[in-house]
Amino acid sequence: MKIIIDEHSGCCNGVARAIKRAEEALAQNNTLNCLGPIVHNEAEIERLGKMGLRTVSIDDFPNLKGEKVLIRAHGEPPHTYHKAGIYSIELIDCTCPVVLALQKKIKSAYEQISVMGGKVVIFGKKGHAEVNGLVGQTHSNAIVVDSLAQFKELLEKGTLTTDMPVELFSQTTKDPQEYEELGNYMTSIFPKGMVNIHNTICKQVTSRHHTLVDFAKKCDIIFFVCGKESSNGNVLYELCRSINPRSYRVEFARQIDRSLIKENDTVGICGAASTTRWQLESASEYILAEK
């Protein structure tokens, strides 16, 4: 048996930055509030929780007057900053620079296209933390679609029509291929110049898709480590499984079924943009431990 940990797996820069900022703040004070789960990764939340990180919601702001609250990499809509100001809350803003740039692009596009009767369409998961922050840049007037099929349904209902200008953006962690298919379909049915497609999927995510395909091909069996709420994890795991049917998703190392491993297997361990390096190493150690 041989174990390979995917060198390209592990936290993306935005998530790693937020975790580091949280650790630094906790080193100075024994507690810190985080607006929502700092990462869609239960194991990492548990680790930071033991250090004093508390997950709070915006409804808790009245009880947090004068305290510090960390904004995670996903970002937040404008009203969050406004409400924090009302209660004199000090924000540690860890919005990923890629997400922050996307928020600004959407805000600018909305201001221009709304006066023309157009729409901002966001390809993303409705209710996802990042998407909530993006939609907030349009005063909640953006249309969110999770698939090409969903987009077609909106056309059938008349929510969207091909005679209106559209600015198309994507959540940074969505599937690049699915986004390309949506964009191609829109340009095929809308009059020329009516659709402006923005390339807003994170380059790290796009690169991860390519490297994961190569990694999955060279392994006999794969254990994909990620939180069950990870949007990026859902996409990457399905990609991994499409290449290698012997792919299994786990949230904790202890969930790995070692009986699935054959004697001469090359075992691959990989994860999502929200999976920490220590979790990948922990999975390897668990596999090698005596049964």
E strands in the chain = 2-5, 32-35, 53-56, 68-71, 90-93, 119-123, 143-145, 166-170, 195-197, 221-225, 247-250, 266-271
| Phi-psi domain of 33 (left: phi exceeds 0; alpha: psi -120 through 50; beta: other) | beta
Cα maximum dimension of the chain = 66
From the list 44, 130, 167, 251, the catalytic residue is 130
Q: Is 238 a catalytic residue?
A: no
Closest CA to 222 of 12, 44, 6, 7: 6
SS3 content of the chain, % helix, strand, coil (to 5): 50, 20, 35
- DSSP-assigned letter for residue 263: T
- Tokens at 214, concatenated: 């190569």
State how beta strands 166-170 and 53-56 pair: unpaired
> Which residues are catalytic, by number?
130
